[in-house]
Amino acid sequence: MRDPNAPPIRLLLVEDNPGDARLVRALLAETGGFELSYAETMADAKTWLIDNDADVVLLDLSLPDSHGLETIDAMRKLAPLLPIVVFTGLADEDVGVAAVKRGCQDYLVKGVGDGHLISRTVLYAIERKTLEIERLQSADRMKKVLLQTVRAVSLTLEIRDPYTAGHQRRVAQLAVAIGRQMGWSEHTLEGLQTGALIHDLGKISVPSDFLSRPGKLSDAAFGVVRSHAAVGAEIVDGIDFPWPVATMIRQHHERLDGSGYPLGLTAESIIPEARILAVADVVEAISSHRPYRPALGMDAALAEIHDHCATRYDPEVVQACETVIRSQGEAVFGEVGLGF
């Protein structure tokens, strides 16, 4: 039950039929607790919302300047955080389901029920939207903590392997630049950066001597180093990332022609994120110093991906990488990326 001492709920009714608007006003006056404002068109609603606040919107789907489910999309753009209750003359369950899928909290059929039904539905819609916002805020906080942890793990690996310090960060910067050049969404880029920052996590199981030893490793030692992709994937496999991080780590040394490891995957079996990581990883590695050789430079790195384009490396990724390097050069390794 609503607290009778609470301030009135500010309800914006968007309805072009004056008769229906008067009826809603009369019904809610009987229940009390509402401050009703009225707009006849979507344009009127937009103007009203510029100067006023509402707690909830009661929305007709048939307006002079908007019709059908697109009306919901238009209102959601005007007021992304407001709970919306559809107010329709159609007693059609499919319309209600479609409305909820489009972000509405509930729907009412005109002429059905009294003021108490409208009141309960509106109050429930506000509660649902509040819980939804709280859930999203909580998920965002958890994601930030998770990403900070990823960053900490990445830095820990750099301390353990000072000869390649910064490698994962630079790979992440280049990978994000490539993904952005390819038109990927910010959410997907965030996942790509997360996977890139810990793509060599499995090296924590590799003896430090193998990582820092100058000269060529024995076949046995090199086999241990190669195991890092599978080991890293196993470490994070149980973490509920919103992106395929474990798969990125496992596949970042796979090659289109099946010559990679650990599974010898080919073509479409390799996820897009891993295809980008493969190119970013080899470009950074070749252009940077390693214990077993001096830096070979960016020209050599670009020659590697160009010469093996479509055999080892994805052509679209290679093209995007070449575009990024042509425009930014090695400065791309110093980008801020996505801000963590």
Flag whether 29 is in a domain: yes
Number of domains in the chain: 2
Helix axes 186-197, 115-160, angle to 10 degrees: 30
More confidently predicted of 218 and 20: 20
Task: Answer whether residue 211 shows pLDDT above 70.
Answer: no
Which percentage of the chain shows pLDDT scores above 90? 41
Show the CA angle centred on residue 258, arms to residues 221 and 218, nearest 5°: 15
Enter the tokens of residue 81: 């955080």
Domain co-membership, 70 together with 168? no
- Dihedral pair phi/psi, residue 225, rounded to 5°: -60, -40
Domain co-membership, 260 together with 167? yes
pLDDT digits (tens, 9 = 90+) for 273-312: 999 999 999 999 999 877 667 778 999 999 999 999 999 9
Domain co-membership, 251 together with 113? no
Flag whether 145 is in a domain: no
Q: Residue 72 half-sphere exposure, CB side, CA atoms within 13 Å?
A: 21
Q: What is the pLDDT of residue 162?
A: 60
**Pick from 89, 116, 134: which residue ends a domain?**
134
What whole-number distance in Å separates Cα of residue 280 and Cα of residue 272? 13
Domain co-membership, 199 together with 270? yes
Flag whether 142 is in a domain: no
Domain co-membership, 192 together with 56? no
In which domain, by residue range, is 69 found?
9-134
Helix, strand, coil share (%) of the chain residues, nearest 5? 60, 10, 30
Task: Answer whether residue 233 shows pLDDT above 70.
Answer: yes
Burial class (CB in 10 A: 0-12, 13-18, 19+), 27: middle
**Pick from 134, 151, 172: which residue ends a domain?**
134
Flag whether 260 is in a domain: yes
The amino acid present at 192, given as its one-letter code, is L
Show the CA angle centred on residue 115, arms to residues 113 and 117, nearest 5°: 55
Domain co-membership, 244 together with 105? no
Domain co-membership, 104 together with 223? no
Domain co-membership, 81 together with 204? no
**Pick from 134, 169, 189: which residue ends a domain?**
134
Flag whether 272 is in a domain: yes
Domain co-membership, 110 together with 188? no
Kindly list the catalytic residues: 203
Among 51-60, 160-169, 181-190, 192-201, whose mean pLDDT is lowest?
160-169
CATH number of the structural domain spanning residue 122: 3.40.50.2300
Domain co-membership, 174 together with 318? yes
Domain co-membership, 167 together with 244? yes
Flag whether 148 is in a domain: no
Domain co-membership, 96 together with 207? no
The amino acid present at 36, given as its one-letter code, is L
Flag whether 339 is in a domain: no
* Radius of gyration from C-alpha coordinates of the chain: 28
Which percentage of the chain shows pLDDT scores above 70? 91
CATH number of the structural domain spanning residue 296: 1.10.3210.10
Flag whether 149 is in a domain: no
